[in-house]
Amino acid sequence: MQGKVVIVTGASSGIGNAAAAIFAKHGSTVVAVGRNERELTELSKRHSGKKGVIKPHLADVRELTQLDRLVSETVANHGRLDVLVNSAGIIQNGTIENTSLEDWDKMLDINLRSVFSLIQRCVPHLEETKGNIVNVSSVAGTRAFPNVLAYCVSKAALDQLTRCAALELAPKKVRVNAVNPGVVVTNLHRRSGMEEDAYASFLERSKETHPIGRVGNPQEVGELIYYLASEKAGWITGATYAIDGGRAETCAR
């Protein structure tokens, strides 16, 4: 990935943050997209003077004009685009009975619509470089879980978007894949409103619900994202890769 140009959304924290750092470590120029300026600046500083470089880019993925600016500025400033990593996402509790239309729309806007919109804008540039796309989905895309209805639906749809886009873009030599993590220690659940005590209990309980006996960390998922984006995965497209400690092999519990 030396010299490649990579856009990573959701880079302020968690999986996106880890993925951006890994690409930069391997010599890529990374446009790190997020809404937390302080976190993006810290990420950039940590990699200053190293092999690759991280360029912070403040943007809300729900705003189409900001996506237009993201893509146009990336290509104008760096001359190309090789990889798009869609890592921005949210989670929120809710059942079929109590999920409001507002919450439903917000979940689908961030987890699905923004990905679709950004892919559309990046395809012409990825076609030029025979680049690729990696979407960050979830075990909830492949299995049903109670009380996270809209999240499960958004991730299941993201998996299907991945497969359909892979099929359609294959003639252009643009690969599209996704990773499907289980529970990973990030700020995702905290930002949904989960209190610290509840989150600690959730992580402890997750040791039992993941057959391998522990939760994941962002670095592990970031390494898989990097592999799928690299030339070593050049014959892989349309795949949704479980990285979940065996969680998808169990019944909901």
Examine the residue annotation and report whether 241 is marked as an active-site residue of this protein.
no
Neighbours of 218 (CB within 10 A): 21
Whether the CB-CB separation of 55 and 37 falls below 8 Å is answered with no
Q: Residue 41: CB partners within 8 Å, gap ≥ 6? A: 56
**Angle (CA) 146 88 249, round 5°:** 40
- The CA-atom distances, in angstroms, between 240 and each of 18, 79, 137, 202, 203 are 19, 30, 8, 25, 24
List the catalytic residue out of 151, 226, 227, 241.
151
* Catalytic annotation, residues: 151
